[in-house]
């Protein structure tokens, strides 16, 4: 059974299902064509549709595109470990990415690709109505700060990481917290420790 087959029937789930169907049939990016040609899945997002905390990364990797699930590869293992350490269940949060299709060779997202896919992300945020958005990596952090009128706060992710930015959304005040992307810690234990310290901050708030 595909990951998107198990969906509840409330209003939020219905709206998120509609987004999923639109992404499955999306014609607005070459990445979607590459996905269909390669037999991969779109990676729309998963988790609690009433989550207080939303994690947003930059793009799916190969494992994610094979399974249609966000953060199910090596970076996902680190994310799961960090969530467990602060006693936060993965199923209690919502996890997605800026892009919903994998860029070739896991390259950085291109500006036009971000422009193509972020309308889906914007709608996901409006539907789920999180109180906290954790931006995993610089692409997510920079997009979200710009989206919520905090473009003047943009810095390299190493300067933004662990800072809390208050912003106003359609559903009320939210907090945006940039973290390093978990993939950065795959080969660097020091970054894993930095991430753990920031996750402890997340637990406090």
- 148 occurs within a structural domain: yes
Please write the tens of the pLDDT for every residue from 74-107: 999 999 999 999 999 999 999 999 999 999 998 9
Domain span holding position 164: 9-204
pLDDT of residue 189: 86
How many domains are there within the chain? 1
Is the model's pLDDT at 30 over the cut of 80? yes
- 19 occurs within a structural domain: yes
Q: What is the CATH number of the domain that holds 57?
A: 3.40.470.10
- 162 occurs within a structural domain: yes
- 4 occurs within a structural domain: no
pLDDT of residue 8: 57
Please write the tens of the pLDDT for every residue from 106-130: 899 999 999 999 999 999 999 999 9
pLDDT of residue 165: 98
Contact 27, 51 (CB under 8 A): no
pTM: 0.93
- 2 occurs within a structural domain: no
pLDDT of residue 1: 38
- 139 occurs within a structural domain: yes
Phi-psi domain of 71 (left: phi exceeds 0; alpha: psi -120 through 50; beta: other): left
- 1 occurs within a structural domain: no
- 3 occurs within a structural domain: no
pLDDT of residue 152: 97
Contact 15, 125 (CB under 8 A): no
Please write the tens of the pLDDT for every residue from 7-27: 457 999 999 999 999 999 999
Please write the tens of the pLDDT for every residue from 153-183: 999 999 999 999 999 999 999 999 999 999 9
């Amino acid at each position: 059974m595909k990951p998107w087959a198990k969906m509840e029937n409330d209003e939020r789930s219905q709206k998120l299902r509609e987004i999923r169907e639109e992404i499955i049939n999306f014609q607005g990016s070459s990445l979607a064509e590459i996905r269909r040609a390669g037999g991969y899945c779109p990676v729309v997002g998963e988790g609690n549709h009433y989550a207080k905390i939303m994690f947003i990364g930059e793009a799916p990797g190969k494992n994610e595109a094979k399974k249609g699930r966000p953060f199910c590869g090596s970076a996902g293992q680190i994310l799961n470990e960090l969530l467990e350490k602060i006693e936060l269940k993965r199923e209690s949060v919502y996890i997605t990415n800026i892009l919903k299709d994998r860029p070739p060779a896991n390259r950085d997202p291109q500006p036009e690709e971000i422009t193509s896919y972020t309308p889906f992300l914007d709608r996901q945020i409006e539907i789920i109505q999180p109180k906290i958005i954790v931006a995993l990596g610089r692409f997510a952090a920079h997009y979200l700060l710009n989206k919520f009128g905090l473009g003047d706060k943009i810095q390299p992710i190493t300067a933004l990481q662990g800072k809390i930015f208050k912003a106003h959304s359609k559903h009320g005040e939210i907090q945006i917290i940039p973290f390093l992307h978990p993939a950065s810690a795959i080969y660097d234990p020091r970054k894993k420790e930095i991430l753990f310290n920031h996750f402890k901050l997340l637990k406090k708030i």
